[in-house]
Structure 1
Amino acid sequence: MAVSQGLSIGALADRTGLAVSAIRYYESQGLIAPWRNSGGQRRFHRADIRRLSFVMIAQQFGFALPEIRELLAGLPGKRTPTPADWTRISETFRNRLDVRIDTLQKLRDNLDGCIGCGCLSLPKCKLYNPDDRARQRGSGPRYLMGDVPDQSG
């Protein structure tokens, strides 16, 4: 099939391993943008193979589709991304993964102790968060988010 004719949805499914319904869903989410040929059939750019492969990888790392769409926004839609394109996007991807890894490590290390939720439901929380002091710093699991428990009192 000539590149100018694009890929059919079946050919794209074969190349990516995705179901046709998944490809249609990703299209509806704005992650790929096919065009219609003179017969009204969807046609996809060859670059969509890489775009969809990236979507699958990013989802495995826990990225939500809105985040993936944001990451893909900087990639060209009609040509295969260059090494420079992927370097740019992978830098952002790597930074976000580093933040997630740090958060997961903090969660792992504090799993059996107070994470600063302010619930005071565990006796140990009174040691880490007396009088619900973490609540003064804001909502959420303050110590997991990087706050340090007060050492006084």
Structure 2
Amino acid sequence: MKSSEDEVRGGAARGPMSIGAVARRFGLATHVLRHWESMGLLAPARDSAGRRRYTVADLTRVAVVLRAKEAGLALETIRTLAATGDLAQRRTILEEEAETLRARIAAAQSALDLIECALDCDHEDVTQCAHFQRVVSPEP
């Protein structure tokens, strides 16, 4: 996936974009953008025919939602963060999310360590390897 900055600026449109163009730019289905709009995450303007017209600001919001989802934030949390003007509330939410993300990163690192240990092991049965057993067993 492109970086968020590239997603927003790369091939920037000459004016407001249709829902289909935005969906293609971000590799999303149009129903995802409609769902995000129904949740209050997006609020694209409408043209005289009622079609959604996405501006650069809307594209930035889509990129932010995608990055927040990549970080593991739920759509409800993203909506709360976007809606709150309360710095203390935003900080509290982000601190909690950061701690959750740190725990997920630690768990993923532990899993990677286990896999790498097994890859380096020449034992026919990796569970019989003393080094592997140390890596698997909980610390005392």
Q: Please tell me the TM-score bracket, short chain as reference.
A: 0.5 to 0.7
2:75 corresponds to 1:65? yes
More helix by share: 2
2:65 corresponds to 1:55? yes
Q: Percent identity?
A: 36
Alignment coverage as a number of residue pairs = 92
Amino acid at match of 1:100: T
Using CA pairs under 8 Å that are at least 6 residues apart, name the structure with larger relative contact order, 1 or 2: 2
Please report the TM-score for the alignment, with normalisation by the length of structure 2.
Answer: 0.52
Amino acid at match of 1:98: A
Q: CA deviation at 1:98?
A: 2.9
2:14 corresponds to 1:9? no
Amino acid at match of 1:67: T
Contact 1:32 1:51 in 2 (8 A): yes
Stretches of structure 1 lacking an aligned partner (at least 5 in a row): 76-87, 109-153
Mapped to 1, the partners of 2:30 and 2:106 lie a distance apart of 39
Aligned to 1:21: 31
- The CA RMSD over aligned residues, in Å, is 3.1
Please report the TM-score for the alignment, with normalisation by the length of structure 1.
Answer: 0.48
Aligned to 2:42: 32
Stretches of structure 2 lacking an aligned partner (at least 5 in a row): 1-12, 109-140
Deviation readout 1:58-102 (Å, 9 max, x if unpaired): 122221111101222269xxxxxxxxxxxx8xx847634432145
Indicate how the Cα distance of structure 1 residues 107 and 28 shifts in structure 2: closer, same or farther if over 3 A, else same: same
Mapped to 2, the partners of 1:105 and 1:53 lie a distance apart of 22
- Based on CA coordinates, which of the two structures has the bigger radius of gyration? 1
